Amino acid sequence: MNHALVPIALKTPDRAYTILIGEALIAQAGALIAQECGPKRLLIVTDENVAGFYLAPLESSLKEAGHTLLPSIVLPAGEKIKSFDFLQELMARLFDRAVDRGVTLIALGGGVIGDLTGFAASITLRGIDFIQIPTTLLAQVDSSVGGKTGINSAFGKNTIGTFYQPRLVLADTKALETLPRRQLLAGYAEVVKYGLIQDAAFFAWCSENAHALLAGEGAARITAIQKSCAYKAALVAQDEREAGSRALLNLGHTFGHALEAEAGYDNEALLHGEAVAIGTIMAFDLSVAMGLSPAAEAHAVREHFMQAGLPTAPAAKTYDVDQLMAFMAQDKKAKAGQLTLILTRGIGKAFVTANVDPAPVRALWEQVVKS
Ligand code: NAD
Ligand code: GLY
């Protein structure tokens, strides 16, 4: 078994923390948390699926290392819990357990649990500590790192939230063994994103190693997660609050978020990573249509996604273009009603651009949802 423990440091103006990546870290979590943060009073928040696999092993590891545990909170699984209703439910359960400022929350799960728990940590008693133990590929390569927290609302995806960094991130690659294949693939969309944004060589690595990574080859997984977290840590360190370069991480997301909102955040219909994959293809296609990117590069990306098994267009053709445009206008990067998008001059050459003309965007949606 590969026990490689790859640490990455992330430093923002007022927080520094470590991202540890390796096999079987949940079993070692108690000792690792004690080493990084000292003995703690801890409260695990997780979902029903993840609890079935990892709650008992995590609780044992924490107790064995001498931490004090408050009773864990298990929520339903799925994007629907990133909502005001479930935020209130979570807060009620935290106060039932007499949470105080000395308690550290542990988000054990995918991006949904991480985003919701991080948000709750950021507003409970004006802010308590939290630790991320991501269990999906998407959460290990993206959402557990960088401190974006929040919920969805009638105003759009992730429109209510905070920037609030965790104290520690423990990414256990062994947890990916129980992750359904569809979820694994959805997370892969966020891995390949880093190559598409800024490193054509990493895109080439992905093209060569996607099969091994998705098949469960340990070294490929560690490399993919380590490279992804290193790219993300560097961008977050430069621009924690997304005033500029951090927005590159949103490649494909403005399109993808609109699709998710139109799909009613229904995970059966569309996963976040699937929406990002479709959105990434759209960002490349728009860049080609605007004369920015060579068509051959967009074609190479589409081919790779298809070979990996990622969607390149929405399956259902019932999306409403006016609604999709309205959701895009609610995007957090939009200013004074003008779209800001991540476009590209080719693989590894993404850039952020404001005041995007909506006409070619609408034309692309018409083509995508009606073809
Ligand atoms: P998720 O949290 O819904 O997890 C996917 C599914 O897999 C769930 O049903 C979950 O119960 C199950 N699961 C999780 N780990 C498992 C495991 N090891 N074995 C078996 N089942 C497991 O989805 P996700 O894709 O991890 O996260 C998507 C969310 O992340 C979206 O809400 C998105 O907006 C958010 N996100 C946030 C950031 C950020 O920077 N904060 C970045 C990217 C995405
Ligand atoms: N996932 C985008 C970001 O963290 O900025």
Is 242 a known active-site residue? yes
Which residue is closest in CA terms to ligand 2's atom 3?
Answer: 249
**Active-site hit among 67, 193, 253, 332:** 253
Structure tokens at 232: 């993300």
Residue 2 has pLDDT above 60, yes or no: no
Pocket of ligand 1 (CB under 6 A): 47, 49-50, 53, 77-79, 82, 109-113, 115, 135-136, 138-139, 142-143, 146, 148, 158, 175, 178-179, 183, 186, 272-273
Q: How far is CA 134 from the centre of its chain?
A: 10
Residue 357 has pLDDT above 90, yes or no: yes
Residue 1 has pLDDT above 50, yes or no: no
Structure tokens at 287: 């860049």
Is 2 a known active-site residue? no
Measured CA to CA, the distance from residue 192 to residue 195 in angstroms comes to 5
Structure tokens at 279: 């959105």
**Active-site hit among 59, 79, 242, 297:** 242
Is 302 a known active-site residue? no
Percent of the chain topping pLDDT 90: 91
Residue 316 has pLDDT above 80, yes or no: no
Domain boundaries, given as residue ranges, for the chain: 6-178, 181-370
Strand intervals (E) in the chain: 6-12, 15-22, 41-47, 68-69, 73-75, 103-109, 130-134, 148-153, 156-163, 168-172, 339-344, 350-356
252-280 pLDDT, tens digit each: 999 999 999 999 989 999 999 999 999 99
Fold held by 181-370: Dehydroquinate synthase-like, alpha domain (1.20.1090)
Measured CA to CA, the distance from residue 10 to residue 244 in angstroms comes to 18
Give the atom of ligand 2 at the shortest distance from the alpha carbon of 142: 1
Calculate mean pLDDT across residues 283-311: 98
222-254 pLDDT, tens digit each: 999 999 999 999 999 999 999 999 999 999 999
Residue to mutate, 198, 232, 248, 253, ligand 2, most ligand atoms under 8 Å from C-beta: 232
DSSP 135-189: -SHHIIIIITSS-EEEEEETTEEEEEEEE---SEEEEEGGGGGGS-HHHHHHHHH
Is 67 a known active-site residue? no
Write phi, then psi, for 99 (nearest 5 degrees): -55, 140
- Regarding pTM above 0.85, the answer is yes
CATH number of 6-178: 3.40.50.1970
Residue 317 has pLDDT above 80, yes or no: no
pLDDT band at 371 (very low <50, low <70, confident <90, very high): confident
Q: Which ligand is nearest the CA of 236, by number?
A: 2
The yes-or-no answer to whether 6-178 and 181-370 have a common fold is: no
Residue 80 has pLDDT above 90, yes or no: yes
